Amino acid sequence: MDLIVRAAAVFFFVYLITRVVGRRELGSSEPFDLILLVVLGDLVQQSVTQSDNSVTGAILVISTFTMLTVLISFISVKLPKVGTVLDGAPLILVENGAPNPDNLKRQRLDLGEVLSEARLQQVARLQDIQWAILESSGQISIIPK
């Protein structure tokens, strides 16, 4: 039972941290980010299982993480307002060629990152952007005029 409680506590802590870090940081993958995720995984494993190296312990921890993930998905679908809080909602970063400074600041993005993504999607100038939307996945969608 102790493994399940520790697994649930760590699961919710990691979930909270990913929400605090922000969508864009999680959507971009730098080499350091990959290393950090591997180290974080090892730290989570150590904190959850401590010295329990049994197969039963591993099954309990994996099952707990899986069940909590399914539960959060189920809640997100059944209760859309709660789902918006859990998963986030798309944010408008640019509308009709004008940046939304509040949303950019809230997501710790600068206009250069939006313009870089626009260029990747074949849109050259800020004035040519009808909508730039930060999706809940961390990707930026560009809709040209």
Tell me: the pLDDT tens digits for 31-70?
766 676 777 788 778 778 777 778 888 888 888 988 998 8
Decide: helix, strand or coil at residue 119: helix
Contacts 24+ apart (CB under 8 A), 11-18: 11/64, 11/65, 11/68, 12/68, 14/40, 14/44, 15/72
Q: Which domains does the chain have, with CATH numbers?
A: 2-87 (no CATH), 91-144 (3.30.240.20)
CA distances from 34 to 24, 91, 97, 109, 138 (A): 15, 26, 34, 20, 16
C-beta separation of 145 from 33 below 8 A: no
65 phi and psi angles, rounded to 5 deg = -60, -40
**pLDDT band at residue 119, thresholds of 50, 70 and 90?**
very high
**pLDDT band at residue 23, thresholds of 50, 70 and 90?**
low
